[in-house]
Amino acid sequence: MSTVAIGRKTMNERQGFDKVAFAAILVTIVFWASAFAFIRIGLTALTPVELATARYVAAAVIAGAYLAIARPALPARSDVLRLIVAAVLFIAAYAVLLNMGERTVAAGPASFIINTMPVMTALIAMFMLGERFGRWGWIGTAISFAGVTLIALSGADGFDLDPNAILIIGAALCSAIASVLQKPILSRMPALAVTAWLLLIGALPLVPAIPSTLQALAVAPASVNWSVAYLVIFPTAIGYVTWAIALKRLSAARAANFLYGVPPTATLMGFLWLGEIPTLIGAIGGVMAIFGVLVVNVMRKR
């Protein structure tokens, strides 16, 4: 890349406007927000592991076909371990934990918990990538996790701890670690190739569940099969590529900041498609969680 191109890229990121990154983030928001509702539909007939397998093994087949046809350069030897860890966390671990959590946590609250990932990403990036994290960062972190606590404690009858919310926090942590791990790789490889390797490697731990998954899909309602197909194509195959593009063009923490738009969108979709109405406590917690994310990623650098 020429010095002029590097300078232009740096200027775009500093000014906070990049048309390609913005388009990629917008697509990611819409598709990832819709995933929470479709996961709830899929869980009506599939176990958390079966749903993860149906979604990501199918996406891995697509990724493998791309790698076989396009034949992009192989990852550098120094990146292999980083790629494997990121893939397993970003795909298998994330999917199973999120699916287990959504057995009882509605789409909207689940999306608010997952989207504390920018806070976790900023914290991890501080240690691993040397990105700044000052006083406002810690204030925002405290606000965000106080909000998550309220969501975890919000039941239909008031305060009632849902342990499955903790599993979704674990999914967010897996996603944050993976996002930071793949950031250096994206500086050396095309985003599409990195995403394909993540999907292919990350789905391997789910392979043993293929037989039971196929049996479950064979007897599942059409709505479940259509939900799985949607999850494979849009939030996964397309959404992961657009997220990788955003990570490639922006800092890890800055890219994650834009995902604050996912929870409100997911909540609206959960209401329209599934009739899910958030509790007052959960709604307050959701607002606090996203406000904390905004503080971490907007105010902490001022």
- Span 169-195, average pLDDT: 87
Task: Report the interhelical angle of 19-42 vs 262-274 (nearest 10°).
Answer: 40
Quick check: 183 and 252 in contact, CB under 8 A?
yes
> Tell me, what's the pLDDT at 171?
93
- How many other CB atoms are there within 10 angstroms of residue 71's CB atom? 9
9 inside domain: no
- How many other CB atoms are there within 10 angstroms of residue 25's CB atom? 23
Is the Cα dihedral 25, 181, 62, 112 positive or negative? negative
220 inside domain: yes
- Span 51-75, average pLDDT: 93
Q: Residue 90: what are its φ and ψ, rounded to 5°?
A: -75, -25
Provide the pLDDT confidence category of residue 5 given band limits of 50, 70 and 90.
Answer: very low
96 inside domain: yes
221 inside domain: yes
173 inside domain: yes
Q: Which tokens sit at 49? A: 């592991």
- Span 117-145, average pLDDT: 70
Q: What are the CA-CA distances from residue 161 to residues 127, 151, 181 (Å)?
A: 32, 9, 32
258-271 burial, b for 16+ CB within 10 Å, e for fewer?
bbbbbbbbbbebbb
Can you tell me which residue has the tokens 């390797």?
197
> Tell me, what's the pLDDT at 10?
42
> Tell me, what's the pLDDT at 257?
65
67-80 pLDDT, tens per residue? Answer: 999 998 889 888 99
Which residues constitute the domain of residue 238? 17-129+164-264
55 inside domain: yes
Q: Which tokens sit at 67? A: 């790698």
Least confident of 92-101, 213-222, 248-257: 248-257
Q: Which residues are CB-neighbours of 37 under 8 A, at least 6 positions away?
A: 107, 266, 269, 270, 273, 274
Residue 148 clears pLDDT 80, i.e. is over it: no
Residue 208 clears pLDDT 80, i.e. is over it: yes
Provide the pLDDT confidence category of residue 6 given band limits of 50, 70 and 90.
Answer: very low
114 inside domain: yes
219-229 pLDDT, tens per residue? Answer: 999 999 999 99
Determine the Cα–Cα distance for residues 302 and 300; give it in Å rounded to an integer. Answer: 6
> Tell me, what's the pLDDT at 130?
63
Q: How many domains, in total, are found in the chain? A: 1
The pTM score is 0.78
Q: Which amino acid is at 47?
A: T
Residue 125 clears pLDDT 80, i.e. is over it: no
SS3 for the chain is: CCHHHHHHHHHHHHHCCCHHHHHHHHHHHHHHHHHHHHHHHHCCCCCHHHHHHHHHHHHHHHHHHHHHHHCCCCCCHHHHHHHHHHHHHHHHHHHHHHHHHCCCCCHHHHHHHHCCHHHHHHHHHHHHCCCCCCHHHHHHHHHHHHHHHHHHHEECCEECCCHHHHHHHHHHHHHHHHHHHHHHHHCCCCHHHHHHHHHHHHCHHHHHHHHHHHHHHHHCCHHHHHHHHHHHHHHHHHHHHHHHHHHHHCCHHHHHHHHHHHHHHHHHHHHHHHCCCCCHHHHHHHHHHHHHHHHHHHHHHC
Determine the Cα–Cα distance for residues 190 and 217; give it in Å rounded to an integer. Answer: 34
Q: Which amino acid is at 79?
A: D
